Structure 1
């Protein structure tokens, strides 16, 4: 937000005043934003990709880690199973590579693929 205001040629005083007002109104809460994004994205992406996205948005690493700490392992495995299951009957190596690109850890991928093999 600071960058956007500076790009619009606001004075430093205007920037600080605007940011202060937005904070007071609860519109600038990085942790709440990060938690909401984690909740939305965790259905189709793993923690690594979500962390990368939050970092690109300027969220501090400590807040990213705190927001990601809400993701349980079972939830990650379930999401990876759903994402990987879209290629039913496909090559497990291709599925694993796809899940890795989506930000899931090797352990979660292995668990998700093992679950698919047990079902199939």
Structure 2
């Protein structure tokens, strides 16, 4: 029982979850040279086992209920997915409007309007960390009771 081949390692990773080509290349890099890794990844793509489009769609589907488009885009970019693929996945998988998703995330966490500027800032920071745009945050929080916030 020797070391598993690069192909076997790639299949094991893909059996657990979808991976982007970049992620899988990084995971396999320690076990072979760049040419071998590229060859295995090319073969996985030919067989339909590796697809950045499928990965991006699955990622967005799984995370869209908790995060805004900016955060989803940033995470997919970090994982090596092309901008066009990200745009397609966001358009296809984010059926609800960004405002509706932001409102649902806010409602699940807080449920009531902020009573003062400190609570408003806390709720705004939370939504911003989830990747929602500032204009959406202001709409949801019904404008600040204190303009300095």
Tell me the TM-score normalized by structure 1: 0.77
Find the partner of 2:82 among 43, 60, 73: 60
Counterpart Cα distance in 2 of 1:43 and 1:30: 21
Give CA deviations for 1:30-78 in whole Å, capped at 9, x if unaligned. 0111111111111000011111111111111221122122325x43222
Using the TM superposition, give the Cα deviation of residue 25 of structure 1 relative to its aligned residue in structure 2, in angstroms. 2.3
51-60 vs 76-85, which moves further: 76-85
Whose helix proportion is higher, 1 or 2? 1
Higher relative CO (CA 8 A, sep ≥ 6), structure 1 or 2? 1
Residue 100 (structure 2) aligned to one of 78, 89, 92:
78
Which residue pairs with 1:2 in the alignment? 25
Instruction: Provide the C-alpha distance between the structure 1 equivalents of 2:26 and 2:61, rounded to a whole number of angstroms.
Output: 26
The number of residues matched between the two structures is 112
When the two chains are superposed, the root-mean-square deviation of aligned CA atoms in Å is: 2.1
The SS at the match of 2:39 is helix
Structure 1 stretch displaced more, 74-83 or 22-31: 74-83
**Residue from 135, 139, 143 that aligns with 1:107:** 135
Higher-Rg member (1/2)? 2
TM (norm. structure 2) is 0.64
**Kept in 2: contact 1:38–1:68 (CA 8 A):** yes
